A and B are shown apart, each in its own frame.
Chain A
């Protein structure tokens, strides 16, 4: 697979595979190093977890695989595992002298792609390269076809299965498709430009939504979306972040129909502002177009409540009919925890548009609880789960009116997310959702709502600035992506937008999500509560590993296209 070429020893893989070995025990570390050398890998060692993180952060593409001990004095190995998975998406193998199944379980749930017992034998190390290949392969598969792959989904869920290979792949793809990207950008929106920093322009957002739709809300995961989008320099984190925001945004919309109604390009932004509890991190939005708040709100941890709440707003819901070009652009609910919480956004008050069930069945983070059990690696943001078009019947929603009922269960378990931040976010989200989820008043003017804002998302202040390139730039380059695509004709379509609303809206003015266009991509149409759940769950699982949410930052910066599923 040419994929391997990207990594390490190009063409010689697994020989030369670059491994980072971490163990505070010098004896064990020395032995491990020697064993790895014997396997012909390229080894870097450190006895401090902190140092390991630095090395990884310094250059994500420098390593293909991380092997780490569990018991370390400066940082818990599981924590390191989570961080690596979230930030760098590299496969991580845990090492421990503890054979206790609960440790193994913990390793798995934190995203380890393997768990080895000490003393490690060389035979075991000889095959570790498979983890690298697998994640690359999955990533490739996902990006190549953009199909939902159950397998890949699972793999991603497998924890850290998306290694940096994904990144490498992405790069490669980007290179291959550079032209394509250019075209796409040009075609869609002359104003969009590829910039070094991710700025979610309308154009980009469109692609994003298209990718999400194509993948299917449930299966839409940042990596896949990224591959589909095929945008140079866009990273998974960018996508994940955006996805999250998008979801939050949707949520927000649903909960704040008034805001939605307010026609404004900044609707998205405004919404984000309105998001409660979403201000975990000021999301620096690049262009000042959107008024902060929105972005921030959006980005923040996806507080299910927030997003769901938004979704509930009839205006948002009704109005947003996404017309995502791709079939499944929906929003993503990626947070596993969020998912649990959001139970059905389904009753989006679709008002008018389609009888009011625009967001029915918004695949809001349903069952956080469920998600939690999925072990999370927070799915948030990583997967852009396209909200499955919500079946009008909101089966999941208790109230079947066309109201979006968001049931957030603010129980995101903190442990689910690396850094627990996500969990918290989810909680917020779910709280927000539940609070706002009251039945959405049927939006009468659905069409009017829609948030057609263009988000100019300049680097969203992602929680992890370093991981997200775009975060570092504020407002510098941003492609504004029309956050909401409102297309009444498609309102009921599948594109489900997850409750990205909040996430998308970056509260930070700098971030500027600018929801320019009035096209609402109603991802949430048709309440398919059931599907939403699935989506959410799947996304969460998948995302978990991807953990885009950088520590604690569910919000994704640069929420480029807020598609309000109205």
Chain B
């Protein structure tokens, strides 16, 4: 992971890269794809819930718990941080805080997505084995 990824992805991501091998040559990308698919769905659900304005904090917290879970498993550190904040606001029942934080969540999420796409692209160009290398 190069400098561009610094801060966006943590050791967990490196663990995933470790798991990539000949048997699973595109493991990281596969996982990332799954993640973005899942998380897009969750983001949508949260968006809708927030738009409704009903602010069912429990429900929001549940969504976010899931979202945070997968973000953690992929090593998306910034996204994870924002998720944690969102959950805090949920717990406090702070609607405005939730809305604000959620925008951050989405932003980080989108940024990460772009970066990873770019990363995988480079990896593909470099050759499958290269992507398993930690250092870029």
Interface residues of A (CB under 8 A from B): 25-28, 30-31, 34-35, 37-38, 71, 97, 118-119, 121-122
Within 8 Å CB of A122, what residues of B? Answer: 15, 18-19
Chain B interface residue bracket vs A = 20 to 34
Contact A97 B72 (CB under 8 A): yes
The CA-CA distance from A30 to B33 in the complex, in Å, is: 11
Mark the stretch among B24-32, B52-60, B112-120, B127-135 that contacts chain A: B24-32
Contact A27 B19 (CB under 8 A): no
Within 8 Å CB of A30, what residues of B? Answer: 30-31, 34
The CA-CA distance from A121 to B27 in the complex, in Å, is: 16
Distance between A76 CB and nearest chain B CB, rounded to angstroms: 13
Could you say which of A34, A71, A118 contacts B24, with CB atoms under 8 Å apart? A34
Contact A119 B19 (CB under 8 A): no
Could you say which of A25, A38, A71, A118 contacts B19, with CB atoms under 8 Å apart? A38
Subset of 10 A-B contacts with CB under 8 Å: A26-B37, A26-B38, A27-B35, A28-B73, A30-B30, A30-B31, A31-B16, A34-B19, A119-B15, A122-B15
Interface residues of B (CB under 8 A from A): 12, 15-16, 18-19, 23-24, 27, 30-31, 34-35, 37-38, 65-66, 68-70, 72-75
Contact B73 A119 (CB under 8 A): yes
Within 8 Å CB of B23, what residues of A? Answer: 37
Taking CB as reference atom, which chain A residue is nearest B67? A25
Distance between A408 CB and nearest chain B CB, rounded to angstroms: 39
Distance between B93 CB and nearest chain A CB, rounded to angstroms: 20
Closest 5 CB pairs of A and B: A27-B70, A97-B69, A27-B35, A119-B73, A34-B19
Contact B68 A25 (CB under 8 A): no
Distance between A59 CB and nearest chain B CB, rounded to angstroms: 27
Within 8 Å CB of B12, what residues of A? Answer: 119
Known pairs A118-B72, A119-B12, A119-B72; A71 contacts B65 (CB<8 A): yes
The CA-CA distance from A38 to B68 in the complex, in Å, is: 25
The CA-CA distance from A118 to B66 in the complex, in Å, is: 12
The CA-CA distance from A203 to B14 in the complex, in Å, is: 62
The CA-CA distance from A25 to B72 in the complex, in Å, is: 12
Within 8 Å CB of A26, what residues of B? Answer: 34, 37-38
Contact B27 A27 (CB under 8 A): no
Contact A97 B19 (CB under 8 A): no
Within 8 Å CB of A27, what residues of B? Answer: 31, 34-35, 38, 70, 73-74
Within 8 Å CB of A71, what residues of B? Answer: 65-66, 69
Within 8 Å CB of B65, what residues of A? Answer: 71, 97
Distance between A197 CB and nearest chain B CB, rounded to angstroms: 44
Contact B24 A28 (CB under 8 A): no
Contact A25 B24 (CB under 8 A): no
The CA-CA distance from A25 to B34 in the complex, in Å, is: 9
Distance between A178 CB and nearest chain B CB, rounded to angstroms: 42
Within 8 Å CB of B16, what residues of A? Answer: 31, 34
Within 8 Å CB of B24, what residues of A? Answer: 34, 37
- Given contacts A25-B66, A25-B70, A30-B34, 15 further A-B pairs with CB under 8 A are A25-B73, A26-B34, A27-B34, A27-B70, A27-B73, A28-B70, A28-B73, A30-B30, A31-B31, A34-B19, A97-B69, A97-B72, A118-B72, A119-B15, A119-B75
Contact B31 A25 (CB under 8 A): no
**Most chain B beta-carbon neighbours within 10 Å: one of A27, A37, A71, A97:** A27
Taking CB as reference atom, which chain A residue is nearest B20? A34
Within 8 Å CB of A28, what residues of B? Answer: 69-70, 73
Distance between B48 CB and nearest chain A CB, rounded to angstroms: 17
Within 8 Å CB of A35, what residues of B? Answer: 19
Within 8 Å CB of B19, what residues of A? Answer: 31, 34-35, 38, 122
